[in-house]
Structure 1
């Protein structure tokens, strides 16, 4: 049984070496690089990874599915560039493969935010579906992509460390990208928003993050990230409203042009 670790990258020179070293046990490390302009590809190749350049074009599921077509491994494990495979995980992966226990496996991810390990709130340790037989699953969704498979979902041992945010510049870049992608996805699906959602959903998002999920136990950073999550919720709805507003203006303009033509 052959295991491939798949890493999607875009300008990840600060992370890629540590990521690949943590997954050095794999039979193959495949890096799908989104036209990086830094040394990501060079560093990955120097550590023995096979690098395939492929533009992301905003479609994360499409990029992950493309990766599946680039390997002949029996099983695949997806690891993001800002993640590290913890010790002990390899033994669990090999045990599952040796038993041919075909399923989609969830693995625990421990989130590190601005250097602080998070235990509660929206960044509490979560379980992500990243390990499965190559021929038995695919990815769906423009953003916050997820696996689709007829296999059962099981939880495995082992864990990842996820260095999710290291600077506010990085956080704000991701904030802008993901709020835009979420708005576009909802718009494509025909979903609307309203002023009431813009007014009430953000404070509830903060309350869920900070109180229900006990983000307050993560101290000052728990409060800050809960506030940011509320703002994120507001901005994605604002961007969605703007998309519908622009669509309405374009429809009106098209109607006026049609009238003038008549």
Structure 2
């Protein structure tokens, strides 16, 4: 039987860390918390709950945080969870079965997002499929923000869902949007990507149309409208910061 470890990234997650650890414990053998400098009780609570806690200095690189965990356990499989995510009972049972599988695979499941007190069905926050379980020796993450896994093994989709309880307030969204767009712009500029002022506005408008029309955000009513406007602003901010970097150079 193979061993499964859950990896949780954290920074100042004292309100979430106990619940996500207790949720993950229903399906895994070991829980690893990678903390990037919490100043609240996150680390204390995680250790009290039986998790192994490791520190990695935050350097604006989400992939590096995820890759850092790979040699902190001898587990055969890694399950990645965010601190504000909770697996359904059905998904927990599905994850348990992975330990009995003979062939190495990567596994995905559906994610449902609840933001600002609303559970989205359409638009940019619509339910989506995320790949989160990998053989430890066959996974590597890339991109500093909006990181993505690189794994060449066949993929299997599990039954059940994970609920993502994100963004309690507009301020929280704005803080993260500012952080993520800055990381994206600097990383994209380093890789040779460039933008003009006009293309920044164009990308922003397309982001709104994609979220509100193409992905049917309008069916979520006012929640769909403001999430689409948020996406417009977020996308515009990404490309405007990229434009500013090139303009300053």
- Which TM-score bucket, shorter chain as reference? over 0.9
- CA deviations on 1:184-224 (whole Å, 9 max, x unpaired) are 12101111111321232212211110111111111111100
Tell me how far apart the structure 1 counterparts of residues 77 and 7 of structure 2 sit (CA, whole Å).
Answer: 10
Tell me how far apart the structure 2 counterparts of residues 170 and 15 of structure 1 sit (CA, whole Å).
Answer: 15
Tell me how far apart the structure 2 counterparts of residues 8 and 208 of structure 1 sit (CA, whole Å).
Answer: 30
Bigger Rg, structure 1 or 2: 1
SS of equivalent to 2:113? strand
Tell me how far apart the structure 1 counterparts of residues 58 and 70 of structure 2 sit (CA, whole Å).
Answer: 15
Of 40, 45, 51 in structure 2, the residue corresponding to residue 38 of structure 1 is: 40
SS of equivalent to 1:42? helix
Moved more, 96-105 or 122-131: 96-105
1:143-154 map, 5 Å: 143-154=145-156
Verify the 8 A CA contact 2:9 2:82 in the aligned structure 1. yes
Partner of 1:19: 20
1:1-262 map, 5 Å: 1-25=2-26, 26-247=28-249
Verify the 8 A CA contact 2:203 2:239 in the aligned structure 1. no
Tell me how far apart the structure 1 counterparts of residues 33 and 201 of structure 2 sit (CA, whole Å).
Answer: 42
- CA deviations on 1:127-152 (whole Å, 9 max, x unpaired) are 11110111111111111111112212
Tell me how far apart the structure 2 counterparts of residues 217 and 156 of structure 1 sit (CA, whole Å).
Answer: 27
**How many residue pairs were aligned?**
247
Tell me how far apart the structure 1 counterparts of residues 102 and 43 of structure 2 sit (CA, whole Å).
Answer: 33
Structure 2 residue runs of 5 or longer lacking an equivalent are: none
Shift of 1:160: 0.7
The CA RMSD over aligned residues, in Å, is 1.2
Cα gap change, 1:108 to 1:101, in 2 (>3 Å): farther
Poorly superposed stretches of 4+, deviation over 3 Å: none
SS of equivalent to 2:114? strand
TM-score by length of 2: 0.96
Structure 1 residue runs of 5 or longer lacking an equivalent are: 248-262
Moved more, 189-198 or 166-175: 189-198
SS of equivalent to 1:99? coil
Tell me how far apart the structure 2 counterparts of residues 89 and 237 of structure 1 sit (CA, whole Å).
Answer: 37
Verify the 8 A CA contact 2:7 2:78 in the aligned structure 1. yes
TM-score by length of 1: 0.91
Tell me how far apart the structure 2 counterparts of residues 131 and 141 of structure 1 sit (CA, whole Å).
Answer: 18
Verify the 8 A CA contact 2:34 2:69 in the aligned structure 1. yes
Tell me how far apart the structure 1 counterparts of residues 47 and 80 of structure 2 sit (CA, whole Å).
Answer: 18
Q: Which structure is higher in RCO with an 8 Å CA cutoff and minimum separation 6?
A: 2
SS of equivalent to 1:190? coil
